[in-house]
RNA sequence: UCCCCAGUAGCUCAGUUGGCAGAGCAAUUGGCUGUUAACCAAUGGGUCCGCGGUUCAAGUCCGUGCUGGGGAGCCA
């Protein structure tokens, strides 16, 4: 290859106002059509949704081989960038040299037509080469960056909390056990001897970085964690995965209202960021994936989210004419149908529900003056359900210890957590947002498996 | 884990009261052509998800298992 020539990515080429003349592109052939004296090749290099059209003429020395280039093949093309006389594209490349880097056999599974999401899940290693999956994974990348940018601008510090944890009762669901004990040794002795295990005690994959984040909020002020989270729940739905990414901001000197303000600002800012920075990829979803998406995003960005207490929500559900499968009443956790009714039918926009009964919420949430409810907040969004769960944390040592006693939690193993309430305890709040659920919200993709590069779910860990 | 639905060519699907296994797209070959998921023609392509049963005969009916999808629970 000509080392003097530098490769230009297709997203750069497509934005050019004037032709630089000679260009070099490398990518994969999406489709090829023959004409009388030349071949049309559409090349995609993953830098953007769109392809660049290459005109490979019969005067090329390897024209016979070029005519055999199949969908999925990798090529390197050097030629002149010229205005395209055809419709549908501004530029095209008049090839002077086409190097076939790799010829894909006709068994290449991706065809020049629409494939079902279910089929593409069975070839998760190849699906990012399609328009839709290429688009969502570019958006996923951009959104991860946007999260860091959002909090960096606000003066938050990024905190990486442990993936392996020693606490076995964080109460957020079933946990994956981490061990270095060999199955043979365990079978032989008949017991899991945790004292002989790597950490000398039971250890698990994290279900939340919140407790760690609270410690750092008491030191650095405003922090956030953003990383992988693991749940060993046997849940088989389109909204759950065993491994997912969660964003968890934690803020000192912050009450429940300010917590909701933060969450609402975040969701709005990220949505705007997606539309402004992933315009071409977002258009694919706005136009073809979910017809209701433009309205939904417009509502999210421009309308204030609804805010009401759990008690008021129960009132609305009880007085609504809608027939529910499950009865509602104070003290009962809301069912999916209730949450959907509130977000999709009643308010038709994201809804914060606050002040849930303390009996259905974790120990760390701040007990309200009524001693019946806690300063919790869940953000319910149309189409997804719960996107965010958060609370003002219980900063009063005596109240917190009483709650832990009520819930039979071993205070001694939370000694360090309780220390934060002993030494300079202040009101503070935080929340967790499922990153994949947010991606589903802004893309209209209906299954969480389709916004994760290689999803891990019950009974499925291929790739 | 529970409820419902599905599994037929590489992909998407049709297949009637049980009676010879089908279509479109893809692939291959040829034709045509500054084409846009190009077009036209021909050809090849099957463990009808697995196992067991009913029947003269099962893609079709029954049982069971597996896989996938939708919903519920749990949650982010």
> Strand B: which residues 226-245 of A lie within 7 A (CB)?
231, 233-242, 244
Of A163-177, A281-295, A373-387, A395-409, which range is least confident? A163-177
Q: Which residue is nearest to nucleotide B36 (CA to C1')?
A: A88
Strand B contact at CB of residue A449, distance < 7 A:
yes
**Mean pLDDT taken over chain A:** 92
- Closest to A140 measured CA to CA, from A455, A456, A379, A440: A440
Q: What residues have CB less than 8 Å from A210, skipping those under 6 apart? A: A248, A250, A364, A430, A432
Shortest-distance nucleotide from A361 CA to C1': B75
Shortest-distance nucleotide from A70 CA to C1': B27
pLDDT at A3 exceeding the cut of 60: no
List, for residues A305-341, the tens digit of each pLDDT value: 999 999 999 999 998 888 888 888 888 889 999 999 9
Note the pLDDT of residue A170: 56
Strand B contact at CB of residue A40, distance < 7 A:
yes
Strand B contact at CB of residue A131, distance < 7 A:
no
Note the pLDDT of residue A171: 60
ipTM of this predicted complex? 0.90
Note the pLDDT of residue A443: 96
Strand B contact at CB of residue A327, distance < 7 A:
no
pLDDT at A408 exceeding the cut of 90: no
What residue has token string 């909390």? A161
Pairing relationship of beta strands A376-381 and A351-354 according to DSSP bridges = antiparallel
pLDDT at A173 exceeding the cut of 80: no
pLDDT at A27 exceeding the cut of 80: yes
The mean pLDDT of A412-433, rounded to a whole number, is 95
Q: Which two tokens stand for residue A104?
A: 């894909």
pTM of the model: 0.94
What is the CA A385 to C1' B72 distance in angstroms?
14
List, for residues A202-242, the tens digit of each pLDDT value: 899 999 999 999 999 999 999 999 999 999 998 899 999 99
The fraction of chain A above a pLDDT of 70, given in percent, is 98
Burial class (CB in 10 A: 0-12, 13-18, 19+), A17: exposed
């Amino acid at each position: 290859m000509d080392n003097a020539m530098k490769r230009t990515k297709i997203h750069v080429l497509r934005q050019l106002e004037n032709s630089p003349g000679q260009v070099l592109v490398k990518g994969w052939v999406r489709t090829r059509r023959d004409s009388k004296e030349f071949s049309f090749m559409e090349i995609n290099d993953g830098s953007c949704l769109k392809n660049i059209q290459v005109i490979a003429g019969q005067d090329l020395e390897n024209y016979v081989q070029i005519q055999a280039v199949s969908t999925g093949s990798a090529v390197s093309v050097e030629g002149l960038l010229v205005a395209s006389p055809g419709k549908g594209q501004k530029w095209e490349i008049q090839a002077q040299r086409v190097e076939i880097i790799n010829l894909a056999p006709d068994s290449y599974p991706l065809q020049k037509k629409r494939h079902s999401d279910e089929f593409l899940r069975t070839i998760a290693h190849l699906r990012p080469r399609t328009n839709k999956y290429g688009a969502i994974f570019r958006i996923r990348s951009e959104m991860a960056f946007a999260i860091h940018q959002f909090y960096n601008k606000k003066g938050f510090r990024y905190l990486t909390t442990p993936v392996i944890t020693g606490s076995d009762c964080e109460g957020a669901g079933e946990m994956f056990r981490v061990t270095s004990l060999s199955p043979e040794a365990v079978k032989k002795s008949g017991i899991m001897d945790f004292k002989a295990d790597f950490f000398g005690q039971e250890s698990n994959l994290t279900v939340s970085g919140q407790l760690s984040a609270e410690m750092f909020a008491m030191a650095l002020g405003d922090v956030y964690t953003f990383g992988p989270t693991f749940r060993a729940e046997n849940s088989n739905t389109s909204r759950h995965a065993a491994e997912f990414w969660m964003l968890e901001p934690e803020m000192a000197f912050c009450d429940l209202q300010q917590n909701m303000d933060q969450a609402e600002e975040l969701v709005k800012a990220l949505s705007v960021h997606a539309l402004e920075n992933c315009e071409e990829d977002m258009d694919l979803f706005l136009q073809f994936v979910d017809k209701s998406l433009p309205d939904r995003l417009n509502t999210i960005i421009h309308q204030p989210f609804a805010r009401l207490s759990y008690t008021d929500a129960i009132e609305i559900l009880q007085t609504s004419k809608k027939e529910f499968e499950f009865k509602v009443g104070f003290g009962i956790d809301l069912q999916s149908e209730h949450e959907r009714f509130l977000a999709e039918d009643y308010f038709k926009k994201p809804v914060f529900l606050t002040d849930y009964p303390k009996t259905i919420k974790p120990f760390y949430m701040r007990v309200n003056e009524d001693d019946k409810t806690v300063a919790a907040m869940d953000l319910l969004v149309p189409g997804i359900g719960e996107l965010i769960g958060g609370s003002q944390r219980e900063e009063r040592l005596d109240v917190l210890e009483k709650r832990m006693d009520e819930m039979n939690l071993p205070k001694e193993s939370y000694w360090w957590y309780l220390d934060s309430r002993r030494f300079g305890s202040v009101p503070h709040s935080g929340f967790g947002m499922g990153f994949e659920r947010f991606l589903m919200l802004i893309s209209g993709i209906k299954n969480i498996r389709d916004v994760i590069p290689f999803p891990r779910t019950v009974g499925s860990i291929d790739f």
